[in-house]
């Protein structure tokens, strides 16, 4: 029997929902998984160091890792109305961020890339210092005045008002209004050295795992809530509803266009290395 595949993804509800069936051996014929949980900033670094067979990473990190890893056409997070938010204690306008300190979840995150594209046109003179914090520490830091603003992702969309915070801008709204494309957030990648046949097998396993979760959502619930950091079950359900959608089952034409659009635009601004012509192609 072959060794389990080493995989790392976040403890967030969308990832545990997607991978529940596969991680627990319920996907027929799928390879066994050795799961490590890690925040997206950590998995991005793991990918750059080539440490795992399969990883959930930010789409923004792809230009640095696609030589060693292939993008799987399913299992990730794209969507509409689900983009990162810029939060402050008292709202305000984009111009108010000029020279201010902003906390972000990762310098290689898609959220930060969307933020940089937005700030380039909306914040005259640019922001001041950027501080990287684990995403669950960002809202308390804004609330407590440790930073002027925070760029938040995931379930923070549903909970920021509990911290007395206000939304200054929605990065996803800006992206969708300027491109018409869905928002590319998190990708599933796997080592090219596994070979084309194995990569196709992994993609099918991920696709089957998410479909099994949709068919009977209650089965994944214990796994989701066990890792959801004391999250309210209703918030976990909202999180899954927003980030697990048709693009999770298959990127499709619109999904690939969104990924290409983001990375091409970012490369044109000098924010990421340019993609090779076939970098996103799946075997």
Q: Which residues are catalytic?
A: 154
**Quick one: tokens of 266?**
């970012």
Q: DSSP class of residue 95?
A: G
The answer to the question of whether 38 is labelled as a binding residue is: no
The answer to the question of whether 109 is labelled as a binding residue is: no
The answer to the question of whether 56 is labelled as a binding residue is: yes
User: Is 121 buried (19+), middle (13-18) or exposed (0-12) by CB count in 10 A?
Assistant: exposed
Q: Which of 194, 190, 238 is nearest to 71 (CA)?
A: 190
The answer to the question of whether 149 is labelled as a binding residue is: no
The answer to the question of whether 179 is labelled as a binding residue is: no
Binding residues for substrate: 56-58, 110-111
Binding residues: 56-58, 110-111
């Amino acid at each position: 029997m072959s060794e389990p595949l080493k995989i790392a993804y976040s403890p967030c509800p969308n990832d545990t929902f997607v991978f529940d069936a596969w991680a627990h051996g319920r996907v027929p014929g799928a390879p066994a998984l050795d799961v490590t949980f890690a925040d997206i900033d950590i998995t991005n670094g793991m990918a750059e160091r080539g440490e795992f067979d399969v990883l959930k990473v930010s789409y923004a990190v792809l230009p640095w890792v696609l030589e060693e890893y292939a993008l799987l056409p399913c299992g990730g997070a794209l969507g509409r109305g689900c983009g990162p938010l810029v939060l402050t204690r008292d709202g305000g306008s984009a111009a108010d961020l000029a020279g201010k300190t902003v906390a972000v979840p990762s310098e290689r995150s898609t959220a930060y890339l969307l933020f940089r594209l937005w700030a380039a046109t909306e914040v005259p003179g640019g922001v001041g210092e950027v501080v990287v914090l684990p995403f669950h520490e960002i809202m308390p830091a804004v609330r407590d005045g440790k930073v002027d603003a925070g760029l938040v992702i995931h379930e923070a969309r549903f909970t920021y008002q509990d911290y007395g915070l206000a939304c200054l801008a929605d990065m996803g709204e800006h992206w969708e209004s300027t491109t018409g494309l869905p928002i590319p957030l998190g990708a599933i990648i796997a080592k090219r050295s596994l070979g084309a046949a194995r990569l196709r097998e992994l993609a099918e396993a991920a696709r089957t795992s998410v479909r099994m979760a949709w068919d009977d959502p209650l089965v994944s619930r214990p796994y989701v809530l066990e890792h959801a950091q004391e999250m309210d079950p209703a918030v976990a359900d909202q999180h899954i509803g927003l980030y697990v959608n048709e693009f999770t089952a298959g990127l499709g034409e619109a999904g690939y266009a969104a990924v290409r659009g983001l990375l091409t635009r970012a490369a044109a601004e000098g924010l990421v290395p340019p993609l090779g012509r076939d970098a996103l192609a799946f075997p």
